[in-house]
Structure 1
Amino acid sequence: MMSSDEDYSLVSDPELQRIQFEINKCKMQYEGIISDQKVLIEACETNLHFTKQFDQRAVTMRAALQAEEKRQEDVLEMEKRKITDLMEEQSRLKSEIQSVQQDIQKMEETNYSLRQQSDVSTAVPERKVVFKGQTSGGGDSSGFDIIARILYPMEGGTALITFEDETVAQHILKMRDHEVQLDGNITLNVQALPVHLLVPSYVELDTQVCPQRVLVSNLPKMESEDRLLDKLEIYFSKRKNGGGEVEETDMLHDSGNVVVTFVENNIAKGLTDKQDHEVKIDGEKNHKIKVTPFLNGKIADLQTRETVCQRSVLLTGISAIMDQDSLQDLLEIHFQKTSNGGGEVDNIIYNPLGQHTLAVFEEDSSTEAQSQ
């Protein structure tokens, strides 16, 4: 067996160097591994720290996000309430607008009606009036008083008698059958019947101002109607007087007024706006006339009711045994006598057999029936 010195001597120096190199190499690798391990540990610790921070930030951001979502939900709910309130306000405003539009329409209709009433009021010719000391209840100022004029067709062989006292007429009707003594020994048997009439109870007129006509009133009395119409036509045909080409002039005999019709539609308005005109009609002196709108009207609504004449009686069954005037006089004489149940006769109309006539009934306290 060899000693240790001998063992070393057996190893050559190159081999030793190689071993020594490997040892050093292993040392270096070990140190590198240790260093890498240290770096990895530090990196792991750093990552753990970052992970912890990230988790904390994630928790904070999650809470912030939840808070933001809650805030957005609150904002959205608030905006929804605002939209609901705005829609309700819009609906209310629409209702108010509709109500205002309806009020405006009513005001326009009222304004139009007032303008029409104003035109109608200016269309009424001036008349001299005097207060008689009597008053009546207030009514619709835009209405008109209408006097009924009723045409009553009379059959042949009948007569109408109007008495001054209605109690006489009612007594004659109650007696019904009457014997009228004529000339000689001739007796005429007649029957007394009530007179039934349909009278207007309500009349509604739709009136419009005519753009082509004017009504001329406050005219002087003249013997020649044609001369008056010629003077008016000459005046209203001149442009300097506000007139134009005249189509025709018509006299309204019941009122004494004149209707002037123009060819053009734009003449009447200017003349009626001025109203008062001075015209040389008779001689050199000017006469002041009034020009007002002419109304075109039609009946929009008519309601009637049946009434019985209180003072009038219809006699039937009258034979044509003598001439009309004589028989009418004898009938009047018979029914004037109180011994026959009669009284003072206001009016009498006799229509012989085979003839047709109309009796006119008017609202007149003195005359209830007259012939036409």
Structure 2
Amino acid sequence: MSSDEDFSLVTEVKPPCEENLEGVKKLIMGCQIQHDQLLREQQDLVQSRDEQRDLAQQFKQRSDRLHKSLEEDRRTYAENVQSEKEKLVHLKQQEDQLRREIQRAEAAMREMEADNDDLKKQTSVSAAVPEKRVVFKGLTAGVPDMQLFDMTLRIVYPMEGGTALITFEEEIVARKILSLMKHEVNLGGEFCITVEAKPVQLMIPSQVEIDTQVCPQRILISNLPTMDSETLLNKLEIHFSKTPHGGGEVQECDLLHDSGTVVLTFVRTDVAKGLTETQYHDVKLEKGKKHRVKVTPFLNGKITDLKTEQVVCPRTVLLTGIPSIMEQDSLQDLLEIHFQKSSSGGGEVDAFLYNPLGQQASALFQEDCPSHREGAL
């Protein structure tokens, strides 16, 4: 509205007068009513404003709480994700470890199966040693006294120059010679030498473990006749080298003199098994005659454990400090004669070996008797 219009309104109001007093009162009363109404409206507006402020404050607080809760949920979610990732990595490591353990177990199982197959092959061997005829002599022994494995000791003893080994028939003589230590040996006339007696100590096996396996290239032939060894080997090699007989090219043919058996070694590894499946073979060993021989698998042995112990020979004495002053045979005879005399503390000599200065020699010790292991020269 313009200023002119405002002015015109003012000019149109009539000045109060007594006649219009009631009208003025009514007008004032109306203004009063309008003022009160405006005050009430103002109060309502103030109250509405305060309520809106309270609602805004509540909404703000709720928004802050929701924001905090959201941040906490995000942090918890991130922690849970990290924890699950760590668990996944740990499970992956466990899976890899289990896979490796499974692979090791499978490898061990394959190895055990291979060992089992080898054991089956060995147990399927009816006899890998030559057959021998035995006669019961009426003697029995308890199970604890039985030996599952036995061997004959053959120990090579290197001798230094200017030494001798003397084995007496009785142990008491050897102990007496050792107790005297120094011995003066008369060589005839005014000549004599002084030698020293020392015990002979040997390292012998006390326990031996041997792992055996069936050889894929060798066979053991037993039940052979008594004949010329060269002819026997040639006949066997010719027979078992022929394909119609189930054989193949022979690499070696060896005679085991201690058992009277023959070991044939083939070039190929698939020949021996076929021959051992048929134990008995008829072979032309003599002119116009066939002899039935027995073919069995050959067992290879490998020492897996060896324990030794040191023992002193009960009947053998080592003599040292022997000078080379005369012929070997003569000096050996004089030494042997001296230690045979009871006046010298000696006794009957079973064996004597002298090695002069500047020479090398070795003595072979064998088992004295089955009841003990001490060796004799």
How does the TM-score come out when normalised to structure 2?
0.64
Extract unaligned runs of 5+ from structure 2: 1-105
Alignment of 1:194 with 2:215, yes or no, is: no
Contact 1:202 1:303 in 2 (8 A): yes
**Contact kept in structure 2, 1:278 and 1:289, CA below 8 Å:** yes
Quote the Cα distance in structure 1 between the aligned partners of 2:344 and 2:245. Answer: 68
Distance (whole Å) between structure 2 residues aligned to residue 263 and residue 110 of structure 1: 25
Q: Deviations over 1:240-277 (max 9, x none)?
A: 32222222212223333211111221211122222222
Q: What is the match of residue 172 of structure 1?
A: 177
Q: CA deviation at 1:329?
A: 1.3
Letter in 2 for 1:308: V
CA contact (8 A) 1:159 1:348 kept: yes
Change in Cα spacing, 1:143 to 1:266, as seen in structure 2 (3 Å) is: farther
- State the shift of 1:113 in Å: 7.4
What code does the residue aligned with 1:204 have? E
Contact 1:117 1:142 in 2 (8 A): no
**Structure 2 partner of 1:135:** 140
Equivalent in the alignment of 2:334: 330
Q: CA–CA distance in 1 between the matches of 2:355 and 2:296?
A: 44
Assess, with a 3 A threshold, how the Cα gap between structure 1 residues 157 and 135 changes in structure 2: closer, same or farther.
farther
**Per the alignment, in what secondary structure is the counterpart of residue 363 of structure 2?**
strand
User: 2 CA distance for matches of 1:369 and 1:110?
Assistant: 41
The answer for the alignment partner of 1:156 in structure 2 is 161
Work out whether residues 122 and 213 of structure 2, in 8 Å CA contact, stay in contact via their aligned partners in 1: no
1:162 and 1:368 in contact (8 A); partners too: no
Shift of the alpha carbon at 1:209?
Answer: 0.7
Q: Determine whether 1:230 maps to 2:256.
A: no
Change (3 A) 1:281 1:190: same
The Cα shift of 1:110 comes to 9.5
Assess, with a 3 A threshold, how the Cα gap between structure 1 residues 116 and 147 changes in structure 2: closer, same or farther.
farther
The correspondence for 1:270, drawn from 270, 274, 279, is 274
Does the CA-based 8 Å contact 2:224-2:260 persist in structure 1? yes
The answer to whether the Cα contact below 8 Å between 2:126 and 2:296 also exists between their aligned partners in 1 is no
State, as a whole percentage, how many aligned pairs show the same letter: 61
- The C-alpha deviation readout for 1:81-115, integer Å capped at 9, x for no partner, is xxxxxxxxxxxxxxxxxxxx9xx99x979965753
CA distance in 2, matches of 1:170, 1:253: 38
Partner of 1:313: 317
Deviations 1:142-193 (A, max 9, x none): 9431222111111111111111111111111111111111133221211111
Alignment partner, residue 37 of structure 1: none
Q: How many residues align?
A: 268
The CA distance in 2 between the partners of 1:272 and 1:261, in whole Å, is 13
| Equivalence for 2:209 | 204
Residue identity opposite 2:175 in structure 1: Q
**1:28 maps to what in 2?**
none
Tell me how far 1:322 sits from its aligned partner: 1.1
**CA distance in structure 2 between the partners assigned to 1:125 and 1:351 by the alignment:** 40
Partners of 2:169 and 2:350 within 8 A in 1: yes
Is 2:369 the counterpart of 1:365? yes
Distance of 1:121 and 1:317 partners within structure 2 = 56
Amino acid paired to 1:264: R
What CA distance in whole angstroms lies between the structure 1 residues aligned with 2:122 and 2:344? 55
CA separation of 1:361 and 1:207: change in aligned 2, threshold 3 A: same
From the superposition, tell whether residues 128 and 239 of structure 1 become closer, same or farther in structure 2 (CA, over 3 Å): same
Matched to 2:188, the amino acid is D
Q: Deviations over 1:23-66 (max 9, x none)?
A: xxxxxxxxxxxxxxxxxxxxxxxxxxxxxxxxxxxxxxxxxxxx
The aligned residue for residue 220 of structure 1 is 225
Tell me: CA distance 1:140–1:234, structure 2 relative to 1, closer, same or farther (3 Å): farther
Distance 1:327 1:149, change over 3 A: same
Partner SS for 1:363: strand
Give the equivalent residue in structure 2 for 1:256: 260
CA deviations 1:192-230 (Å, max 9, x no partner) are 11111111011111211101110112222223x332111
Q: Which residue of 1 aligns with 2:351?
A: 347
**1:162·1:345 contact (CA, 8 Å) conserved in 2?**
yes
Deviation, 1:120, is: 6.0
Superposition pairs of residues 35-114 of structure 1, within 5 angstroms: none
Is 2:313–2:376's contact at 8 Å kept on the other side of the alignment? Answer: no
2-structure distance, mates of 1:340, 1:330 = 13
Partner of 1:60: none
Report the alpha carbon displacement of residue 136 of structure 1 after superposing the two structures with TM. 3.6
CA 209–314 in structure 1, closer or farther in 2 if over 3 Å, else same: same
**TM-score, normalization by structure 1:** 0.65
How far apart are the structure 1 equivalents of 2:129 and 2:171?
A: 37
